[in-house]
A and B are shown apart, each in its own frame.
Chain A
């Protein structure tokens, strides 16, 4: 009787463990960029220059990395901001663009998505404001 119960408990526990592993692997949460430490900090003009001069090296170094960027606002539209005419920033949570004006300096943290050579802009997504 006791043995049976033990087997039952062991079986039950292993099912729970299997479910937990399954859930961990197949329903893993997305990265939380806002909580991640920035791998590198520089100005928006700098990162845009790095991509402009040597795109493949910059891609190897910064693609999918969390970067912290400082820059002057050069354009504002539909919840997105362009810093130093070189980095297009989109935010995790929509920001109130009416609060920002061109020429102001902004510091953000976000994920580097890559380089858009049509507009010569480095695209950054899932950003959060650090300082404004």
Chain B
């Protein structure tokens, strides 16, 4: 009996210490202005790691992985705005607040994520609410938040200022599997 309890404890503790990983998370950002060509790009190879014991979360997106429909826009994004040769990645480090993996259900519940985005050598504190649910053992994390180019010292030249929105909407979609 005691042996069984010990084993059960061992199993449950190893389960709660699990890391959940997504290697193919999707981040889309959009800074479109009406009447102009959409300024929108998607990266479908974003990494996220969630530790369900500490609720710590880390994400990493490679800038060259953002694909635009317009190749010239992609070039400008990489060369003039993000400078992806010098700053090849964006990182997020933070934690999920009041998140409990074991009480996660099949229906969406909101969860507050708090942390910082590191991009172009600049840090930006961010706190936003996302949706989360459990699906076939995976954790789904979805939602969106807003940033501005000024948050990361990105200067938009006046000639294109009308074509790029002041607020950039960042949408994310992750499916984290137990590892």
CB distance from A131 to the nearest CB of B (A): 23
Q: Check A28 against B49 for contact (C-beta < 8 Å).
A: no
Complex contacts, A90 vs chain B, CB 8 Å: 24, 44-45
- Across chains A and B, the number of contacting residue pairs, with CB separation under 8 Å, is 62
With A28-B71, A116-B47, A123-B45 already in contact, the answer to whether A63 and B64 are too (CB < 8 A) is yes
Smallest beta-carbon distance B60→chain A, Å: 5
Cβ of A80 < 8 Å from any Cβ of B?
A: yes
For the complex, count residues of A whose C-beta is within 8 A of B. Answer: 27
A113 near B45 (CB under 8 angstroms)?
Answer: yes
Q: Residue A98 at the B interface, CB < 8 A? A: no
Q: Cβ of B70: which chain A residues have Cβ within 8 Å of it?
A: 26-27
Do B71 and A116 have beta carbons less than 8 Å apart? Answer: no
Considering the chains assembled together, what is the distance between the CA atoms of A29 and B24 in angstroms? 25
Residues of B within 8 A of A63 (CB): 64, 84-85, 88
B117 near A: Cβ within 8 Å?
no
| B62 and A114 contacting across the interface, CB-CB below 8 Å | yes
Say yes or no: B24 contacts A78, CB within 8 Å. Answer: yes
Q: From A79, which residue of chain B is reached at the shortest CB distance?
A: B24
Does residue B65 face the partner (Cβ distance < 8 Å to A)?
yes
Residues 69-124 (chain A) with a chain B CB within 8 angstroms: 77-78, 80, 88, 90, 111, 113-119, 121, 123
Residue of B whose beta carbon sits closest to that of A31: B71
* Contact call B45/A125, Cβ cutoff below 8 A: yes
Inter-chain contact B60/A117, CB cutoff 8 Å: yes
- In the complex the two chains form, is A113's CB within 8 Å of B60's CB? no
5 contacts between A and B (CB under 8 A): A27-B70, A59-B88, A80-B24, A118-B60, A119-B49
- A residues contacting B by CB (< 8 A) are 25-31, 59-60, 63-64, 77-78, 80, 88, 90, 111, 113-119, 121, 123, 125
Interface pairs A-B: 6 shortest CB-CB: A114-B62, A30-B71, A114-B88, A113-B64, A113-B65, A113-B62
Interface residues of B (CB under 8 A from A): 21, 23-24, 44-45, 47, 49, 58, 60, 62-65, 70-72, 74, 84-85, 88-89
